[in-house]
Amino acid sequence: MDEASEVEPIDPDVPSAEGPTDAVEPPHDQAAEPVAARRTGRRALVIALAVGVPLVLTGAVFAVLAAAGTFDEPEPPQLTASQAERIDAEFAEREDLLAELDYQRTEYELDLSDWTQSEEWTEEYLADTAQPTPSVPNPGGTALPGADPTGRAFLDAIGATDVTVFFEAGPDNCGYYGNGGTELGYAGGCFRPEYPNSLYMAWDPQAESVAWSIFVHEAMHWYQDEHYIQATYLADFAGVDFESYSSVWEADASCRAVYSYGMTLEDYVDTTSPCTIAGWYEGYITDYLVSRGANLTEPDPAAYEPVETSRP
């Protein structure tokens, strides 16, 4: 055992038995200062730990969260890949139907375009009021034979109130070629679409007896255009050009004159436009054009739908 271990501990609160001396510093002052310092140190450590540890831990947590992107601006929402694929699948599943629908829509739009165009052309045509210029007077004069010398009563009766007879033997009268200097008499008329309110008429005096039937035939051409001009446009869109049915058109005019306006078959037998349509009826010409492939009705979108209308 060494000497230090034999020194008795000094309690600063217990007075010394030998009493105070001036030569020696009181032992309790020397011991109290380190103790107080230790206590202060412990308190500082406790405070430091109490504040520092949570701070460090909090910092660490924030660092981890920051690294994980917790404090980043949130990503804008998006459809997930599986959601997007699921939606795409709905379209893929109906691929055939959608292709058919696309085809039908195109067909409808083309037909509607044709219809609209034919309507516009018809409107323009019927609004045309151009008048021809006279060139060669009619050798037969300026009055039709019979009680209706200008054809006014007849024209009014068929609704051609703006139409007048144009007595003209010039080259624009496509139905009259003259008699070539012979003794024969000819009568001819013409309806020119560029002058829809004029009926060209010319005849040699010796052919006056057939002038009225030819006038009625030309008036029937006005009627045809008035009521069926749109059908001719639509037929043309369908590839049925006028030249391919001009003889039918001519026969239709004569037959209407016969079956609707009191003329006879014989009136047209020896003309360039005989009535050759057995069983003619109003609307014959449109049925004929339809039979040739023309679509003469306004497109009905329902007719193009590949499937029926449905609702849940």
What letter would DSSP give residue 208?
Answer: G
50 or 269: whose CB is closer to other proteins? 50
267: nearest Cα among 226, 305, 211, 196: 211
**83 is a site residue for other proteins (CB under 8 A):** yes
Helix or strand holding residue 93 (H, E): helix 81-93
**87 is a site residue for other proteins (CB under 8 A):** yes
User: Which residue type is seen at 132?
Assistant: P
Query: Of the ranges 26-34, 65-73, 80-88, 204-212, which one interacts with other proteins (CB under 8 A)?
Result: 80-88
Segment 195 to 214, residues that bind other proteins, using CB under 8 A: none
38 or 86: whose CB is closer to other proteins? 86
Q: How far apart are the first and last CA of the chain?
A: 105
User: Which residue type is seen at 203?
Assistant: W
CA atoms lying within 13 Å on the CB side of residue 282: 5
237 or 304: whose CB is closer to other proteins? 304
**80 is a site residue for other proteins (CB under 8 A):** yes
Backbone angles phi, psi at 166, to 5 degrees: -110, 100
Segment 247 to 286, residues that bind other proteins, using CB under 8 A: none
Q: Which two tokens stand for residue 160?
A: 């051609």
**86 is a site residue for other proteins (CB under 8 A):** yes
51 or 89: whose CB is closer to other proteins? 89
38: number of Cβ within 10 Å = 10
N residues, the chain: 312
**77 is a site residue for other proteins (CB under 8 A):** yes
93 or 156: whose CB is closer to other proteins? 93
Q: Which one among 102, 120, 123, 266 touches other proteins, defined by CB under 8 A?
A: 102
Instruction: Report the distance separating Cα 194 and Cα 163, nearest Å.
Output: 13
Segment 290 to 309, residues that bind other proteins, using CB under 8 A: 301-302, 304-305, 307-309
Instruction: Judge whether 192 and 200 are in contact, CB under 8 Å.
Output: yes
Q: Residues binding other proteins: what is the number (CB under 8 A)?
A: 31
**60 is a site residue for other proteins (CB under 8 A):** no
54 or 159: whose CB is closer to other proteins? 54
**96 is a site residue for other proteins (CB under 8 A):** no
Alpha carbon separation from 284 to 242, 247, 249, 256 (Å, rounded): 16, 14, 10, 10
103 or 281: whose CB is closer to other proteins? 103
Beta strand pairing call for 164-167 and 187-190? unpaired
Positions in the binding site for other proteins (CB under 8 A): 76-83, 86-87, 90-91, 94, 97-98, 101-102, 104-105, 108, 112, 301-302, 304-305, 307-312
